[in-house]
């Protein structure tokens, strides 16, 4: 192995063992897996459930508000909303340049069905990861938002 290749491998080892993003994305995939498995019977993913939560909290809600609240890219929200509209879970209304999203009765029913499944995943995650990690993540997110 060349010296240059060895040095590059050393850098890669350091990145892999110390990078926040590497650890957070692995954590996110593991935790999301718990929620997605629990929500499978509702035909919702945890991402869709979170978007529906944002809609239920503020409906009718502007797409930009959902993106801001959930830190989503506009294209990610658009893809999810398109699927949710096709499934009859949400409806979209345009007011000028603003896109407003609301729940349909079918969407409310799906969301209500998913709530106990989410509760089960929440409990399982709390037991696995612990309450302290949740509190630390929440405070770190708030801190990063202020920067």
Q: What is the pLDDT along the chain (147 residues), one digit of tens a residue?
A: 677 778 888 889 899 899 989 998 999 999 999 999 999 999 999 999 999 999 999 999 999 999 999 999 999 999 999 999 999 999 999 999 999 999 999 999 999 999 999 999 999 999 988 889 889 888 988 888 887
Level-2 CATH architecture, domain 63-117: Orthogonal Bundle (1.10)
CB < 8 Å & 24+ apart, contacts of 77-86: 77/51, 80/47, 80/48, 80/51, 81/51, 83/48, 84/48, 84/51, 84/52
CA distance 41 to 117: 8
Residue pLDDT, tens place only, 81-121: 999 999 999 999 999 999 999 999 999 999 999 999 999 99
The SS3 call for residue 24 is: helix
């Amino acid at each position: 192995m060349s010296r240059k290749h060895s040095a590059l491998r050393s850098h890669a080892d350091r990145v892999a063992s110390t990078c926040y993003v590497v650890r957070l994305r692995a954590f996110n995939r593991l935790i999301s897996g718990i929620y997605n498995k629990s929500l499978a019977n509702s035909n919702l993913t945890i991402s869709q459930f979170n978007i529906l939560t944002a809609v239920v909290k503020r409906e009718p809600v502007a797409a930009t508000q959902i993106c801001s609240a959930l830190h989503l890219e506009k294209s990610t929200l658009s893809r999810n909303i398109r699927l949710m509209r096709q499934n009859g879970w949400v409806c979209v209304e345009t007011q000028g340049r603003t896109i407003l999203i609301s729940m349909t009765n079918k969407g409310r029913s799906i969301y209500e069905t998913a709530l106990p499944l989410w509760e089960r995943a929440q409990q399982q995650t709390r037991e696995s990861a612990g309450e302290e990690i949740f509190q630390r993540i929440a405070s770190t997110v708030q801190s990063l938002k202020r920067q």
